[in-house]
Structure 1
Amino acid sequence: MKLHALALSVVSVLVASQVQANPKVYGQFNISAESYQKDNQDPASADEDFTRLQSNASRFGVRGENELSTNLAVVYGIEWSIDSSGDGTGGNADLQQRNRFVGIKHNNLGTVKAGRFDTYLKTAQGKTDLFNDFLGDIEFTIAGEDRANNAVAYESPSFKKFQFNILSQTQDVATKATNGSSASIVYDNQELGLYAALGVNDNIVGRSALFGNTREGDGYRLVLSYNFADLTVNGIYTTNEKYDGKDGEKAYLLGAAYKIDDFVLKAQYSTVEADDVNKIAAGNSIEKTVFNVGADYNLTSKTRAFVWYTNREDVKKDAVIVVPNDIEETSLALGVEHKF
């Protein structure tokens, strides 16, 4: 009996080690059929009206964790976007880079990793963007939805529901940008239904919501989400400006989701405006807004059907003698998402 028990123990250890060593393949297909309209006030710009099949940040990746000792493990991950609609349009070319990293994790001290991955100002949003990856994604109005190249980061373990993260971006050879940093402090108390976070970027290469370019910028993001019963309410306030203090913008978001059995009803509004309209060149945006309403139906824990309507407005600055050039986009979509 003792030999039998010993043999079972050895087999159990070997099986557990093998399972731990195997990487996990994961991903999601998210695809929608959309009716899309774009209206330009400038008569020189043609309006658009068509239907399309859209891939919404469909992706797959590999991640894993291999034990080095009792408290130490190697962690890694690599992820690509894929075009599930098949036509390669709309920025959905197959196998574009997403997050990728390798690092060392200590059970009590946290994780150090290096590679290309989301800044901590971006991840501070948590799950507050109810229309993430769709036309109404917060990146239309809120700056800082960026991944940092050549990044080294530290992520603390959770302590009394708090976690601290910091990232250093070494010089980017492609852009010749100088070093930057990103940090966040997160409070996630699921028992209370409360999520709060503060994210900060200092001289990080990223996108502006209004000025339409990639630049070295500084930003702050304050996030608050509260869930009680079946209702969740979300809020975000953020600022962004160039490293030299120019071209500043401020944005905020309000959203709510209500769960009824397997249905989730949701609505979200966000807006951004320039700090100083007088310093914006003609033809550039001075204000953007986006309004979304939608509903999800959870078929299983990994599959959902969804419908949403989005309205986006882009207000541009006129030159001395010009015709109006504001832009309004609307879209009605029906789709499905499956995670694996």
Structure 2
Amino acid sequence: MWWMVGVGLVGLFLAAQAWRARTCHEVEISGHRRVVVITGCDSGIGYSVAMSARAWGWTVVATCLSPDGEGAAHLREAGVHIVIVDLTQTHTLAHLLHTIQRLKMNNQEVWCVVNNAGLLTYASCEWQTSEMVERQVAVNLTGVIQVTKALLPTLRRNKGRVVMVSSPAGQVGTPTMSVYSATKWGVEGFTQAIRRELASTGVSVVLVRPCNLPNRTGILRNNAAQLREMIEGAGEETLRDYGEAMKEAEQVFHEAYGNVNQVQGLRDDRLLECFRSAIMSKRPLATYSAAPLLVRVALNLLQLLPTAWVDFLCAIDFHYIVLSLAKNS
């Protein structure tokens, strides 16, 4: 019976969060003469949030990898400042700081940073090349820490805000997402610690969890090509034990995501509403989730259940069933 009590408590907690979010939404911070920095804006969530923040009245600085890409071109047309930053090369943060200094001279101060940039290689840890592992850690975790660290002096002075972007993979570790999960668990831990570290400074720290958007963000467009690279670079034992599974996975990802457009609208009003509240609410929640209520309840319960139960549920692909309820097509 105790699990029923757990379900009830989780449901009440989430309902209270939803009520507070509705009651606080109308009290918003103006973006006038304020700058929001958003990382990873070539496509996907970063692109859509940058476009939306511009429409909400903010001066937006968007970091991109490709200055001549479709996403950067559309953002420029919307009046967004584009900065080329590669989070695997931390010296490129100098470009961002230079742009921020230039805007400051025009009386536009950075008030918020949205740490959105992220990479996902969907495959078992053993299959992935060392470079794939290193890039996910460098962008998803080290990059988040370095960007936050670089902007903290300005954010402290302005009593601003840090917005982190996590994932359901930051709540529950699941097969074939081990490396990505490690980075997102790191983001969640960093978020908790930095929130408490900055509590006396006036800087607020907020976490946003998008949910199940691979077909709307292009994050898995290159996964088939990466699997081909894994097959070509795999050791003899790995190929003997997993070679056929790797080839099948390559075909599945090619068919499912090979034709997904890199730059497109998210069609997820709830997610954009989460980001609006995370950036603009005067009294933001600590965490916003774009998942439907049933999915949020299930994910929270998976964090409370005994480990052996969660292992069993993951073995029968229960997590896939849960996340399919949030799929955005």
Using structure 2 for the length normalisation, give the TM-score: 0.30
Higher strand share: 1
Higher helix share: 2
Larger radius of gyration: 1
Between the two structures, name the one with larger relative contact order (CA 8 Å, sep ≥ 6). Answer: 2
Using structure 1 for the length normalisation, give the TM-score: 0.29
